[in-house]
Structure 1
Amino acid sequence: MNKKILIVEDESLVAYDLKLILTRAGYKVCGIADSVTEALEIIEEQKPEMVLLDIFLKGNQTGIDLAKILTSKNIAFVYLSANFQESILERAKATQPYGFLVKPFREKELLITLDVAFYRHQNSIESKLRQEQALELVFKNIVAEPIPWKQKLLKIAMSIQPHVPFDYLTTTMKNGVGFPGNAISFFRTGFDEYQVIGTDEFVNITKTNRDQLKQMQDGSPRTTKADFYNAAGFAKIWPEFPVKKLIAQVFNMQSFLGLPLLSSSGDVIQFSFYSRKTDCYTNDHLILLDRLHRSLLMAIEEIIPLDAPEPLVTRSDKSTQGELREKNKATGFKDIICKSHQMLTVLDHIGIVAPLDTSVLVLGESGTGKERIAKSIHYLSFRKNKPLVVVNCASMPATLIESELFGHEKGAFTGAVEKRTGKFELADGGTIFLDEIGEMPAELQVKLLRVLQEQEIERIGGKGPIKINVRIVAATNRNLEKEVEEGRFRLDLYYRLFVFPITIPPLRERKDDIPVLANYFLERYAQKSGKAITGISPNVMNQLLDYHWPGNVRELEHFIERSILLTDGPVIKDAYLPKLQGKKENPVYAETATDRLKTIDEHARDHILDVLKRCNGKISGKDGAASKLGLPPSTLHSKMQKLGIKKWE
């Protein structure tokens, strides 16, 4: 059966050209719509498997509005647009399309993008089904464990964490009048480490009392529908829900998702997820929880004694935490030191993807620890007893990289005096980590794409393909979208690798990790050097927290190692940091009142405007801005259009 595609495009000529191309390629075009309203009617009737979606349409609604509806219906979509405005592109990308085509595009580009989009969507569906089945089994196993009900509930929460992330979770076990005495909360303090909070402890932490909590709860409406609120949307509901406001302010929470479960006895078991991220929750979380509703409710009803007295908890559940810390170390995270919510989210994502065979793309600046992430993915996978082969694509000469990756036969080329087994063959059954994949030559990208599609390689000078079973984890510090746009990286390969991206935030954006990393490196290098150095002075620690860390974790590690060598006493008292690169001294890192760093595009825009002013608006010619910037005038015009520079001011 041909795959059904809906075209949503307000330019009739473009729409009918698309229909001709798709029909010729064997697809079934089930309709053409020029507005969101018309598209929804066709979707309801035809149930397309893919939607080609223009951003600007007839009527008040845009393709971005329709994209959100398509996501809720689990229908894949690819954007078509001639608009280069950064704000529009950012909004479009936020809807997580399965592809993006910029008009005008070639027929080949369209067909490749569709092929990749169908592949990614199918992978996504299978992955979600596996996740749901795995979670249902986990719930059943937890219920059967011979441990106290509080620990069972904590384990349920922890099993949900990678899929519906939270920094604070409250479970209300009975929707009675007033603030329930048997509510229990879990406050995340580390990976698989949680502080268990009962009502008495909640009162102490928030500096309130039970009467105040009861008054707050009595004034709040009861909710029976799952919903989420991010950032400003969350703040808007505070007047109605003063307890949520209290939790948000005391624990610094920025997002909220509420999940009510109606028990067989008519009581409502309320799950309240909170996150420090401003944009944590999406419709995908609601869809997953809706599918898990029945199995989760059955587990909770068996776990929670609804008529139990208020749970007695201490400051933290030490036995559970100790057990989990050991489990954590044993399962591949022992070399990743962190406590920030950003990095804990990264670890959650690793936990989701590691057991699968999905390709993973690790994104992040140099020095953030991409290789450690790749190693954790391997050691947490079912391939952990097979080889992990690391390849740095940037360090291999272009003339040798094909031989290094795929091997060669004896006599295949001058100098091939013996047969060579390539890295992919060495990794058979295991994982290959392709670091700095953005540096891979274009001709090798084609062969890598074949490996991903066919799971086979061919040695240079070989007589035929060789079947292999290899999982690919790739990493780059480059902006691959920009590399694709400028023709240096293949679009089809990008989307094949982008099935499950993991982005590691730079150290300057997760300052909670600086003290724990610094102390970890201090212990390691003090022991290595044989010096009895046991601490870092508060003054030095403040300087570390204030520094911008352009070299990220690697730079911090080198700083601690160097400081140990230069320190005579038991405490590091001097910070030998590069003065010109601290964010206070360097205007490049100057931050606004809202502590937001400028993007690369914003810096580029400011620089071009400055040069235009110096050249009195002249672009071409000897003294024009293009000449000063070292760009052809046409390229400068293109950049100005992309950055929204219509005139110099």
Structure 2
Amino acid sequence: MKEQILIVEDQFVEADYLRLLLEQAGYGITGIARSVAQAQEMIRTKKPDFVLLDIFLKGEETGIDLARILAVDNIPFVYLSANSNEDVLNEAKQTQPYGFLVKPFREKDLLVALEIARYRHAHSVDTKYQKEIAFRKTLEAIRVETGTWEQKSLQIIAALQRIIPFDFLVGGFGRGFCFLRIGFDEYQIMGIPELATVTGQSMEALSALTYNCNLTFFKKLFAENFQLRSDLEKDLSICLYSRRSTAYTADQVEIFERIVPLLIQSIDTLLQDKAPDMVTPASKKSRQIPDEIIGKSHLLLNVFDHVAQVAPSDTSVLILGESGTGKEKIASSIHQFSTRSGKPYIKLNCAALSPGLIESELFGHEKGAFTGALDKRMGIFERANKGTLFLDEVGDMPIELQVKLLRVLQEKEIERVGGRDTIKVDVRIIAATNKNLEKEVADGRFRLDLYYRLNVFPITLPALRERKEDIPALAYHFMRHFADKAGRKLSGISDGVLKKMMTYDWPGNIRELEHMIERSVLLAKGAVIEEILLPAFNKREKPPEVEDMTMKTIAENERDYIIAVLKKCNGRIWGPGAAAEILNLNPSTLKSKMKKLGIKKEYIH
């Protein structure tokens, strides 16, 4: 007997059809629920292995409300819906489903979707425990190795970063010290004297850090001085911070809670063996990043973390970002650091192909399949077998071809145009687009089920205006490159030019910056670039705040709005004129939202 499945669908005919298909395929059915309340009752009676879940149900609560409950209970679910409203899709995506089936669907689509959901769920659980086991082994290896306190502590921090990304780590341990991330596997270690210098606080005020690093005073102090927006805590001795809001997932919280005792024990052991006499900047270079990717902003470091995390697996990756942000370089990096690095890496620009030839280009054709097909030809999928296929601008793929691509991804086999035989293929897919695929789905130009199939591991690249701290490093990199290419000896870029670049929005992102620097190198009259010609209409009076320029998620906007209301109400939740009343929410609902969004009192007052 296969898995037991709960069907949550309020249309009787559709629900019964699903039951029939699943039972014929050998699945067990725990029940058919037509509302969230009925589904919860059935789950209490018998916990299912999977849930097939329609988004729109009878009653006030939707399938998305139930999905949040299922996620907490670690019950995998697959959405069923004919609705592709952009707001609904955004909300559904936040619940991290294991699949999405668009009505109407074939029997094979349903069964393949369940197989994929089963694999993804098992893989996510296995990966979670494999990471934890690997971390424990790393700590044990570090313990028996020879090395200084600084070297060993940096090894521990780098190992922790691989499973729970952070920008700032605070430890008490009777001494008080912090690790500030300054690059990829690079950290600055600070003790209380260094913190006093950076924050302007007295040594006496910071002394409590030695026994309790989670005091509200410290959280507010670190948030203000290091631009931190979320934190993860378990013990009085250790706390992680991130510059991204809502940075930590439920899985990461769970792993952190389990490894904290071992982490504390390892650091305590190091301190007992040899405490640090002085605290200095240091780095641990255990992982690699491509030389052509320039920058150390926290947004770019987050991208590197995702690349390092996903590269060794065969998981599909969807790279999102504006034109010119470097999507192709990130795709190449994922392949370079994967187990398929010695195999073919094929790039296909979906926007540049003729609609009449794209199917032949992807799947190949037999001789005589169409006019002009004089020979049999292998398609891109066959040529990329055992390797990686990069589908650039996948958002421009014709809707009729999206169906065929989806089936190849699900069934891992193709048919050449004009052919009858199926050909098995083993290809890792990396897709990229500068389009808002949720909007494309809502407008009917992109299939929802293909979106979810590609969106297994999304990586969003920040626009250059969102990481302006990287502009000087990028500018000097391009200056050296084009100066060498042109046979010119340039020593630098003037402060005036750098200021101009920092005030510009860079709508063309890194590609535009590259072209501007190339032009400036050719026009430079001396050894220093003294002038850069930027479009006048896009200049600003002063540099914009990077945080203000950042495109925020729905959850981030909701978090900011709730914080703003709470500040107006001096942190009051209950009573007349309090936050709950202004937001038109039940006070308990508001408290739940605050907990979910990581809103704490130290960020309000």
TM-score band, normalised by shorter chain: 0.7 to 0.9
Which stretches in structure 2 are left out of the alignment for 5+ residues?
555-605
Q: CA deviation at 1:427?
A: 2.2
Residue 20 of structure 2 corresponds to residue 24 of structure 1: yes
CA deviations 1:523-567 (Å, max 9, x no partner) are 111121122222222222222122111111111111111111111
Q: CA deviation at 1:95?
A: 2.8
CA deviations 1:429-469 (Å, max 9, x no partner) are 22111111122233433333333233333333446233333
Q: Is the 8 Å Cα contact of residues 306 and 459 (structure 2) preserved in structure 1?
A: yes
Q: Give me the whole-angstrom Cα distance separating, in 2, the residues matched to 1:599 and 1:272.
A: 25
CA deviations 1:69-108 (Å, max 9, x no partner) are 3223222234578998876664443333345679xx5465
The match for 1:485 is 442
Output aligned runs, 1:123-142, within 5 Å: 123-142=123-142
Which among 503, 509, 513 is matched to residue 470 of structure 2? 513
Percent of aligned pairs with the same amino acid: 50
Q: Give me the whole-angstrom Cα distance separating, in 2, the residues matched to 1:471 and 1:598.
A: 30
CA deviations 1:213-239 (Å, max 9, x no partner) are 235777x6x97xxxxxxxxxxxxxxxx
Q: Is the 8 Å Cα contact of residues 90 and 438 (structure 2) preserved in structure 1?
A: no
The match for 1:255 is 230
The match for 1:622 is none
Which among 494, 497, 502 is matched to residue 545 of structure 1? 502
Q: Is the 8 Å Cα contact of residues 189 and 281 (structure 2) preserved in structure 1?
A: yes
The match for 1:613 is none
Q: Give me the whole-angstrom Cα distance separating, in 2, the residues matched to 1:425 and 1:32.
A: 42
Q: Give me the whole-angstrom Cα distance separating, in 2, the residues matched to 1:386 and 1:101.
A: 32
Which among 235, 249, 266 is matched to residue 282 of structure 1? 249
Q: Give me the whole-angstrom Cα distance separating, in 2, the residues matched to 1:448 and 1:61.
A: 34
Change in Cα spacing, 1:18 to 1:288, as seen in structure 2 (3 Å) is farther
Change in Cα spacing, 1:53 to 1:574, as seen in structure 2 (3 Å) is same
Q: CA deviation at 1:17?
A: 4.0
Change in Cα spacing, 1:592 to 1:201, as seen in structure 2 (3 Å) is closer
The match for 1:187 is 180
Change in Cα spacing, 1:279 to 1:117, as seen in structure 2 (3 Å) is same
Q: Is the 8 Å Cα contact of residues 467 and 546 (structure 2) preserved in structure 1?
A: no
Q: Is the 8 Å Cα contact of residues 254 and 278 (structure 1) preserved in structure 2?
A: yes
Q: Give me the whole-angstrom Cα distance separating, in 1, the residues matched to 2:179 and 2:509.
A: 31
The match for 1:242 is 217
- TM-score, normalised with respect to structure 2: 0.80
The match for 1:578 is 535
Q: Give me the whole-angstrom Cα distance separating, in 1, the residues matched to 2:409 and 2:90.
A: 29
Size of the aligned set, in residue pairs, is 548
Output aligned runs, 1:338-353, within 5 Å: 338-353=295-310
The match for 2:160 is 160
Which among 362, 369, 378 is matched to residue 405 of structure 1? 362
The match for 1:471 is 428
Q: Give me the whole-angstrom Cα distance separating, in 2, the residues matched to 1:421 and 1:433.
A: 17
- Give the aligned CA root-mean-square deviation in angstroms: 3.6
Change in Cα spacing, 1:598 to 1:296, as seen in structure 2 (3 Å) is closer
Output aligned runs, 1:127-526, within 5 Å: 127-173=127-173, 180-181=174-175, 183-214=176-207, 241-260=216-235, 270-292=237-259, 296=263, 299-300=266-267, 303-306=269-272, 308-309=274-275, 311-317=276-282, 320-321=283-284, 324=285, 328=287, 331-462=288-419, 464-526=421-483
Q: Is the 8 Å Cα contact of residues 19 and 29 (structure 1) preserved in structure 2?
A: no
Q: Give me the whole-angstrom Cα distance separating, in 1, the residues matched to 2:439 and 2:551.
A: 20
Q: Give me the whole-angstrom Cα distance separating, in 2, the residues matched to 1:571 and 1:333.
A: 28
Q: Give me the whole-angstrom Cα distance separating, in 2, the residues matched to 1:97 and 1:513.
A: 35
Q: CA deviation at 1:47?
A: 1.6
Residue identity matched to 1:441 = P
Q: CA deviation at 1:117?
A: 4.5
Residue identity matched to 1:76 = P
**Is 526-535 or 499-508 further displaced after alignment?**
526-535
The match for 1:77 is 77
- TM-score, normalised with respect to structure 1: 0.75
Q: Give me the whole-angstrom Cα distance separating, in 2, the residues matched to 1:593 and 1:22.
A: 47
Change in Cα spacing, 1:307 to 1:149, as seen in structure 2 (3 Å) is closer
Q: Give me the whole-angstrom Cα distance separating, in 2, the residues matched to 1:512 and 1:126.
A: 38
Task: Find the residue that maps to 1:161 and give its secondary structure.
Answer: helix
CA deviations 1:202-255 (Å, max 9, x no partner) are 22222233322235777x6x97xxxxxxxxxxxxxxxx5212222222212111
Q: Is the 8 Å Cα contact of residues 82 and 104 (structure 2) preserved in structure 1?
A: no
**Is 14-23 or 429-438 further displaced after alignment?**
14-23
Change in Cα spacing, 1:199 to 1:596, as seen in structure 2 (3 Å) is closer
CA deviations 1:554-613 (Å, max 9, x no partner) are 11111111111111122222221112244679xxxx99995566999xxxxxxxxxxxxx
Q: CA deviation at 1:57?
A: 7.6
Residue identity matched to 1:211 = E
Residue identity matched to 2:138 = V
Q: Give me the whole-angstrom Cα distance separating, in 1, the residues matched to 2:444 and 2:244.
A: 34
Task: Find the residue that maps to 1:543 and give its secondary structure.
Answer: helix
Task: Find the residue that maps to 1:47 and give its secondary structure.
Answer: coil
**Is 347-356 or 507-516 further displaced after alignment?**
507-516
Change in Cα spacing, 1:399 to 1:82, as seen in structure 2 (3 Å) is closer
Output aligned runs, 1:624-643, within 5 Å: none
Task: Find the residue that maps to 2:97 and give its secondary structure.
Answer: coil
Q: Is the 8 Å Cα contact of residues 231 and 242 (structure 2) preserved in structure 1?
A: yes
Q: Is the 8 Å Cα contact of residues 337 and 516 (structure 1) preserved in structure 2?
A: yes
